[in-house]
Amino acid sequence: MKRIILAAVATIACNLALAAEPGPYLSASVGSADQKLVADGLAVAMSDTAFQLAAGYRYANNVGIEAGYTNMGKATILADTVSVSSKPKSIHLAITYSYNLTPDFAFTGKLGGVHTRTVLAATDGTESASEAELRNSLLVGVGMSYTFKPGIALIADYQNFGKIVRSNGDGLKAHVVSVGVRYSF
């Protein structure tokens, strides 16, 4: 039992020693935004290019805070003369955590709140209508980072934005898979 406790303490101590230096950072990433529409028992998935900009501050050791903007592109469903599209854009505020495996490679996690504005548009022949929906939801993210130069890291992330549009039990869910670069000051 003592050996297990000693091994756990040693692992935590090594991880804290490998933690990135505290300080601010900026990141930019691009990837794929997947939107899944569930309406009247029908589920339709759509994808488009997404990009994200974020700024954060890493506090002592592995914990930090991040604010960011995500544009999830435009997803469109076409059926005969009818088209329905959604264009979600989000801002988030999240607590971040980094678990360092080596001085250069780390697993990352993110948990916070997200505010999404989704413009929904429908066109039927010559008639069209659109509206914007605002929704707050939980943001959950996991990822990896690899520091290849002091202060510069490659990042890969998965972020789930939850249900970004909700109407009578139906809704639109979104998640983003991205790669990018983080610059730490």
pLDDT at 7: 46
Residue 155 clears pLDDT 70, i.e. is over it: yes
Is the model more confident about 130 or about 26?
Answer: 26
Q: Evaluate if pTM is beyond 0.75.
A: yes
- Give the per-residue pLDDT at 101: 92
Match 């469903």 to its residue by tokens.
Answer: 77
pLDDT at 14: 45
pLDDT of residue 3: 56
| Contacts for 176-179: CB closer than 8 Å, 24+ residues apart | 176/31, 176/32, 176/33, 176/34, 176/50, 176/52, 176/70, 176/72, 177/31, 177/32, 177/34, 178/29, 178/30, 178/31, 178/32, 178/50, 178/51, 178/52, 179/29, 179/30, 179/31, 179/154, 179/155
Task: Write down all domains in the chain, each with its CATH number in brackets.
Answer: 2-184 (2.40.160.20)
The pLDDT tens digits for 23-51 are 999 999 999 999 887 766 666 778 889 99
Q: Has residue 83 got a pLDDT over 60?
A: yes
Dump pLDDT digits (tens) for 156-179: 999 999 888 877 667 788 999 999
Average pLDDT for 48-67: 92
